[in-house]
Homo-oligomer: A and B are copies of this chain.
Amino acid sequence: MTNLPREFALIENYFRPLAGPAGLALADDAAILPEIPGREWVVSVDAMVAGVHFLADDPPDLIARKLLRVNLSDLAAMAAQPFGYLLTLAAPGTTPDAWFAGFAAGLAEDQTRFDLTLLGGDTTATPGPLVLSLTIFGAVATGKALRRTGAQPGDEVWVSGTIGDAALGLLVRRGELADPSGTLLRRYLLPEPRLFLPLAGIARAGADISDGLVQDLGHLCRAGGIGAVIEAASVPLSPAARAAGPDHLARCLTGGDDYELVLAVPPERAAALQAAAAAAGVEVTRIGHFRADPARVLVRDAAGGEMALGSGGWSHF
């Protein structure tokens, strides 16, 4: 009992301070989610691998915050509010304590910003690269979760924020693109989950843009058995993305990691969306509309023709 192994020291020093009441001080085999009358739990999980989703020598606080935020974005896509999270780390045995300290500091910062706490987790050694998995828990009024299903022909396609910055930020990270303002790299390293955009009663369907605008819009189309057409010239680009030049437009439309929202909004609710977004300080832009068929996503270029997009999306496989 005197020589507790390193796993317990890591939990004690870095993770227990992050636990909320539902985490039972991380002293139990599991956490307990309280009953919240009139609300139901929304749960999701995302994994991140060093060398695939981030670089092993990225700052640990930014790795932690991105891991939390990509999961928070899944809650935003369902119109749920954050409550807490479970975390697993498979880390090389040589990972120094300072790395865990930085990682925990990043979690602490975003816990405060997004109002959630650690519920529990599992820490283990691996002979391979760092692999992180985070399960997020949010709550939504019963029956009011935004779904991918529900878009109807005639609904407008709206997106939050600007599209493609993260995909260009990955090029910056690889030294293949200049980024004088630092915007593109920052957007890649630290996405902004759109949790503060109230969508209940406004959007009919929605998803977050993790795999790329065209692919995630495609998810809404498949779920509804319909199609969509968007105008490339209407897709909102940041000044930094515009400065990268038109050769990068296809990458902006298909690249992943933006964590903006793509929404199906009936035309008569467009004004309500704009008002809600303005109140939340989030820009929203109409980029096209859903239609009955063909059941695919068509991207029109400035001349009205179909834009060639290459592979059309992004896969981690």
Which residues does A use to contact B, with CB under 8 Å? 1-8, 10, 24, 27-35, 37, 39-49, 51-53, 74-75, 77-78, 80, 86-90, 93, 119-129, 131, 133, 135-138, 140, 142, 145, 147-149, 207-208, 214, 218-219, 221-223, 296-297, 311-317
Contact = CB atoms under 8 A, between A and B. Distances in A.
Contacts of A88: 45-47, 133
Contact of A86 (B7, B45, B48, B124): B45
Contacts of A35: 35, 37, 39-40, 142
B5 A47 contact: no
Contacts of A47: 88-90, 122, 124, 131, 133
Given A127-B129, A128-B131, A317-B125, A42 B31 contact: yes
- Copies of this subunit: 2
A83 to B, nearest CB: 11
Contacts of A53: 124
Given A33-B43, A312-B1, A315-B7, A78 B135 contact: no
B49 A126 contact: yes
B43 A145 contact: no
A221 B2 CA distance: 13
A219 B120 CA distance: 16
B93 A317 contact: yes
B126 A52 contact: yes
Contacts of A30: 42-44, 74-75, 77-78, 80, 136, 138, 145
B49 A124 contact: yes
A87 B6 CA distance: 26
